[in-house]
Each structure stands twice: as structure tokens, then as C-alpha cells.
Amino acid sequence: MALCVTKENVEPSKLKELENLEDLVLQQDTPVRVLHRRSNATREKTIHSMKVEPISETLFKLAVISSAGAYIKELVHGDFERTKPNLRTLLGVETDILALDVEEIYLDWPKMNQDTVKTTIT
């Protein structure tokens, strides 16, 4: 869950438009904040869905389900246009992130298949 703020008022209907975007493909350059430890590359990531809860005209909660490795902070503020599209471009207003919590990870691990599953009969 991300707590987001905009520089100007945003109509609730504009925020709700984010919820209609499914499997939004992002082009994400390595974020500036991690360039010192990762090589600079453009990675394609997918935002499967977004859920928005308006708090005020400039504040909203954003729940995101994304592919592994997507940079959510950069999805929100754009990282100097290093993430395209981003909420600044989608909403048409400067947008930033105040807080971010990972609430759940969907992971099929360890992968189990018939060759690796052992059944004990007693």
C-alpha cells in the first residue's frame, strides 16, 4: 500500500481511471536511488492492477499488484521520467509517495511438481 500526494487537486474520477488499467506495461530504467549498486538498464515490468482510495483532494492510498521487481516508488513519481508511464503522466499532475508498505507477496516457492513430491504412506 502506498500513500501518495499530488501537488494539485485531483478529481476522484481521474483517480478511479487508474483502476481500469490492467496489465499496464512499464519501461523502467534503473532508479537513480539504486544506480550505485545496479547496472543501468531498462527493464519491462507489468502493473497487473491498481486500487485507489481517495483520502482528500491531494492525498490517496494506492494498492498495486505488479510483476516481481517493479519499482513502485518510481511508478508513482516517475524518477525523472526514468519510469514510463508513471502516475505523474497518467494523472497529469505532480505526484509523490509519502509511505510504502509491502503487504503480500505471491510466490510459488519452492516450486513443486510430481518429480519432486514424495509421499509417505504409514
Please report, for the domain that includes residue 92, its CATH number.
Answer: 3.30.70.3190
Residue 44 falls within a domain, yes or no? Answer: yes
Rg of the chain, C-alpha, whole Å: 18
Q: Which domain holds residue 56?
A: 2-100
**C-alpha cell recorded at residue 118:** 514424495
Domain count for the chain, please give it.
Answer: 1
Q: Is residue 84 part of a domain?
A: yes
Other residues' Cβ atoms within 10 Å of the Cβ of residue 98: 10
Lookup: cell for 108:
510459488
Taking only the tens place, the pLDDT of each residue in 54-71 is: 999 999 999 999 999 999
Which pTM does this prediction carry?
A: 0.84
pLDDT tens-digit readout, 78-117: 999 999 999 999 999 999 999 999 988 887 766 666 555 5
What is the mean pLDDT of the segment spanning 18-23?
96
End-to-end CA distance of the chain: 46
Q: Is residue 110 part of a domain?
A: no
Asked if the structure places residue 122 within a domain, the reply is no
